[in-house]
């Protein structure tokens, strides 16, 4: 019999949704969770980062093995609230669906982890090992919080990791990497009727970007595990006047990297392109302000096999086991772990993250609490 009933479980999720942690204010979420856990004699620690931003770490059990469980506390902007059918920060229910900003990405996953800890602790579990919750700030923009947890050593003794990002009744064991790159091109201004007296910063930058597109969109690049390498120029600006040769231009690109063509190889190719055009008189430089490597663990690791077995009775369709496209905190947390490290990305959710009327199947949320409860103990007692 469950310690917390359905109404109490949904109330925890409702209170999380009500906290407007839009790329900030995760300390408010952490404070709520700390008080909630304390009600059930679970100790936790808020780890300040800066301002109103913080991580939260909580543990039940003791000793080895250590199972890490993680979810992020921030959400993206809801956009125009008037476009929603209901207040994005007030969880509502319609026809078995829950609605609210972060309901799928990923306050439902976070709530499920916390509720699971409460349920297990009430049963005086685990008898063996430790469950360590790592609730992170700043995942939506650069996975900042998890980098602090990694630096502070919270993953050193971890023997397995569950990231509760939305997968539905499917299982992830890897993810693409991501790079945000700013290109800066400097030239020499002149009158547009006398371009020979200047150097066009836009032309040089455009030529480099066109070359980059040809290289990174080459269909012959291997893509055995995660699909294609993705390179997109998403922002560009330059020039100040229609009849002047521009002396400055800049652009930004987002790259989704794969193990077969990783972040280091992207940097090498871009450096070679910059050298090529700079030798021709350009002055192009880059600032890589986000650099998250791809993650690829074994699809046969222990947690994949264990959760597949536990998930099967709940799934209405075949369970897909595959890498995912979005970047998660795993890009930091599994650094240095071997390929057979027990690792999964699995949590309640669907394909509505970041969308208007973000939604979640209520029963799926409740199912994952049951799945996690069995999974965590099975892992620790294996």
Q: Which 3 state secondary structure label does DSSP give 120? A: helix
Distance (Å, whole) CA 204 – CA 202? 6
Instruction: Please give the C-alpha separations between residue 27 and each of 20, 21, 51, 136, 145, in angstroms, as whole numbers.
Output: 11, 9, 9, 10, 12
Structure tokens at 120: 């297990």
End-to-end CA distance of the chain: 24
**CA-to-CA distance for 172 and 296, rounded, in angstroms?**
10
Distances (CA, A) of 228 to 210, 256, 325, 331: 18, 9, 10, 18
Token pair belonging to 214: 């040809």
Q: What angle do CA 353, 291, 352 make, to 5 degrees?
A: 5
Q: Please tell me whether residue 292 adopts helix, strand or coil conformation.
A: strand
User: What pairing do the DSSP bridges indicate for beta strands 230-238 and 248-257?
Assistant: antiparallel
Q: CA 272, CA 260: separation in Å to the nearest integer?
A: 19
- The answer to whether the CB of 37 falls within 8 A of the CB of 44 is yes
Contact 323, 172 (CB under 8 A): yes
Rounded distance, CA 72 to CA 332, Å? 13
**Rg of the chain, C-alpha, whole Å:** 23
Which residues does the annotation mark as catalytic? 74, 139
Q: Which of 158, 126, 145 is nearest to 303 (CA)?
A: 158
């Amino acid at each position: 019999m469950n310690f917390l009933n359905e109404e109490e479980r949904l109330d925890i999720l409702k209170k999380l949704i009500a906290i407007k942690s839009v790329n900030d204010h995760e300390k408010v979420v952490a404070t709520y969770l700390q008080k909630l856990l304390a009600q059930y004699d679970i100790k936790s620690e808020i780890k300040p980062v800066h301002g109103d931003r913080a991580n939260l770490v909580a543990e039940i059990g003791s000793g080895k093995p250590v199972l890490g469980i993680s979810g992020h506390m921030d959400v993206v902007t809801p956009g125009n609230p008037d476009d929603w059918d209901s207040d994005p920060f007030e969880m509502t229910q319609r026809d078995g669906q829950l609605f609210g900003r972060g309901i799928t990405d990923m306050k439902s996953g976070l709530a499920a982890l916390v509720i699971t800890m409460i349920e297990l602790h009430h049963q005086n579990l685990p008898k063996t090992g430790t469950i360590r919750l790592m609730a992170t700030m700043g995942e939506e923009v650069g996975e900042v919080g998890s980098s602090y947890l990694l630096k502070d050593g919270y993953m050193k003794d971890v023997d397995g990791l569950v990231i509760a990002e939305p997968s539905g009744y499917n299982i992830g064991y890897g993810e693409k990497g991501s790079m945000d790159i700013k290109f800066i091109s400097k030239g020499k201004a002149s009158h547009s009727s006398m371009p020979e007296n200047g150097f066009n910063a836009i032309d040089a930058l455009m030529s480099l970007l066109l070359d980059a597109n040809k290289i990174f969109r080459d269909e012959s690049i291997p893509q055995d595990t995660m699909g294609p390498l993705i390179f997109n120029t998403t922002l560009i600006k330059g020039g100040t006047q229609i009849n002047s040769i521009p002396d400055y231009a800049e652009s930004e690109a987002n790259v989704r990297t794969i193990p077969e063509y990783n972040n280091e190889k992207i940097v090498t190719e871009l450096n070679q392109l910059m050298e090529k055009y700079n030798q021709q008189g350009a002055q192009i430089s880059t600032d890589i302000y986000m650099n998250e490597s791809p993650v690829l663990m074994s699809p046969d690791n222990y947690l994949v096999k264990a959760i597949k077995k536990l998930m099967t009775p709940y799934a209405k369709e075949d369970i897909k086991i595959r890498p995912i496209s979005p970047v998660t905190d795993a890009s930091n947390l599994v650094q240095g772990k071997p390929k057979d490290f027990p690792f999964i990305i699995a949590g309640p959710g669907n394909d509505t993250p970041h969308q208007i009327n973000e939604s979640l199947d209520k029963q799926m949320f409740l199912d994952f609490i049951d799945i996690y409860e069995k999974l965590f103990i099975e892992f620790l007692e294996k």
